[in-house]
Structure 1
Amino acid sequence: MAIASFGVACRNHLTVHRPPPPFPLIYCLRKVGKTPFASVATLVEPDNNCVNEEDGLVKGKEGVIKGINWKKLSAKELGITTDKISKPTRLVLNALKKKGYEVYLVGGCVRDLILNRTPKDFDILTSAELRDVVRTFSQCEIVGKRFPICHVHVSHIIIEVSSFSTSRRKSRNSSNSFSRRPPGCDEHDYHRWMNCLGRDFTINGFMLDPYAKLVYDYMGGMEDIRKAKVRTVIPADDSFREDCARILRGVRIAARLGFRFSKETAFSIKDLSCSILRLDKGRLLMEMNYMLAYGSAEASLRLLWKVGLLEILLPIQVWSPVSIAAYFVSQRFRRRDERSNMLLSLFSSLDKLLAPNRPCHGSLW
């Protein structure tokens, strides 16, 4: 199967692939708004207001957390040990720490360590300015214009290093109304919290201090891990309009972990699904490769179909005039038995050979 071109289609589960209308993006947004959410009962959890007596969180509308009780958790009690951090990552952490900078592991790698999974990669956050990071390592360059980070090359592996100063500039430029400084927090907590506020999902909002052996949870990520839920940090509509690539990342995370979307996140994905067409083809190919090449291809395809994204991403015709998405449906995509569908069976077999630290090459597609 080649994912070489991306057409435009937004009707869910049609058996006939029709040519796109003259204004595809406007058409898609209009059609999605009128389409009921497919299989929502299998994807979402109820989002009623609740009080968690254990952590003191009062949650109402998604993305709004009242009465925040920030958590500092023991990395040791969570089963996170130094040997689970890759050697190249430890070399970068140690080099920055020796120069007196604060260093943290952030994002999905901390989530995976908490879940006792092997992270795909490790991202580092530091108090050093990016130019100081460049001075620290012989093979390092700054990449990105809007939100620059450093790529540190260690043993043919790239370690991404971001700076608190960059995240502070990002928060000043953001229209996020939740960035007011909470009362009673010190400067260190405030800077960590502001960085986590810019994350996509609560379960990616962790920070790990590998030297103090503490995990900071400012966004309620542990609660959502316990509930096996994917929830945006800020209201889902705002989050996906800010960065539509988060829609595809959310699907990838939910498929890989076997988590469900919270109610608001699921409906926002459905409503804004066609916004992913704003991404360039290279980015779409990269996101599809992440879904297919790291051991969760079958689950990703099923979830893409359920949220109405499959025909947008894969309108490729396997035989005229039937698209791949229509083929899945015609071959009993609804059934859990992957053997009823040859293509899903192939992906299921491939998944058994792959892992986040053992992906296949993207040229396979």
Structure 2
Amino acid sequence: MSENALKVLYRLHNSGYQAYLVGGCVRDVLLGKEPKDFDVTTDATPEQIKGLFRNCRLIGRRFRLAHIVFGREVIEVATFRGHHENNDEGDSKDSKQSDDGQLMRDNVFGSIEEDAERRDFTINAMYYNIADYSISDFAGGMEAIKNKKLH
């Protein structure tokens, strides 16, 4: 486990935010492999994350992410993604599409459950919770690992 990823998780948690390792790093640890990187997800907004870390850079236009830089290691922190909800005019104040439907901005924040629904693979919807050392598996990722099947 990356010491720097743990620093990020604990600082978020101790500041009152939810903080989870998510995706491939959780899978790799479960398989006994060394993760190549560590991704964190939280209910803190990018601006709140930046306020907690001097070594933070906010990146991305379409979806804002925080990169917490520790020398050569970068811990990527994303706010839980939510679902798009349009108003009567078909617009959303947090997401923006071009006239041909291309997503130009996707800063729609949500809950951990909504975030899990937006993940691409079942194994990427597994969350390691620093608060109680548990793994939440929202899409059958543990079963996918057991059966060696990617969904």
* Larger strand proportion of the pair: 2
Could you report, residue by residue, the CA deviation over 1:83-132 in whole angstroms, capped at 9, with x for unpaired residues?
xx211111111211221111000111111111111111000011111101
Secondary structure at the counterpart of residue 84 of structure 2: helix
Q: TM-score, normalised by structure 1?
A: 0.34
Q: Establish whether residue 121 from structure 1 lines up as the match of residue 41 from structure 2.
A: no
The alignment's TM-score, normalised by the length of structure 2, stands at 0.79
Given that residues 121 and 150 in structure 2 are in contact (C-alpha distance below 8 angstroms), is that contact kept between their aligned partners in structure 1?
yes
Q: Is 1:124–1:161's contact at 8 Å kept on the other side of the alignment?
A: yes
Give 1:211 shift.
2.6
Aligned residues: 128
| 1:172 match | 84
Q: How does 1:262-281 map to 2 (within 5 A)?
A: none
Structure 1 position 139, deviation (Å)? 1.6
1:214 alignment counterpart: 134
CA distance in 1, matches of 2:14, 2:142: 31
8 Å Cα contact 2:126/2:141 also seen in 1: yes
Larger Cα Rg: Structure 1 or Structure 2? 1
- Supply the AA of the counterpart residue of 2:30: I
* Aligned-partner residue type, residue 84 of structure 2: R
Please show how residues 1-365 of structure 1 align to structure 2 within 5 Å: 85-164=1-80, 167-168=81-82, 171-172=83-84, 191-231=111-151
- For 1:128 and 1:193, the matched residues in 2 are separated by 15
Separation in 2 of the partners of 1:128 and 1:191?
Answer: 11
- Measured against aligned partners, the alpha-carbon deviations of 1:34-80 in whole angstroms (never above 9, x if no partner) come to xxxxxxxxxxxxxxxxxxxxxxxxxxxxxxxxxxxxxxxxxxxxxxx
**Which has more helix, going by share of residues?**
1
Following superposition, the deviation at residue 210 of structure 1 comes to: 2.2
Determine if contact 2:10/2:130 at 8 Å carries over to the other structure: no
**Contact map agreement 1:102 1:127 (CA 8 A) in 2:** yes
User: Using the alignment, how far apart are the partners of 2:73 and 2:2 within structure 1?
Assistant: 10
Q: Shift of residue 155 of structure 1?
A: 3.2
Q: Deviations over 1:275-301 (max 9, x none)?
A: xxxxxxxxxxxxxxxxxxxxxxxxxxx
Secondary structure of the corresponding residue to residue 40 of structure 2: strand
Does the Cα contact within 8 Å between 1:88 and 1:155 map onto a contact in 2?
A: no
Letter in 1 for 2:34: T
Distance 1:149 1:198 in 2: 16
Give unpaired runs (5+ residues) of structure 2: 86-109
**2: distance between equivalents of 1:97 and 1:203?**
23
Aligned residue in 1 for 2:94: none
Percent identity over the alignment? Answer: 36
Cα contact 2:43–2:111 (8 A) shared by 1: no
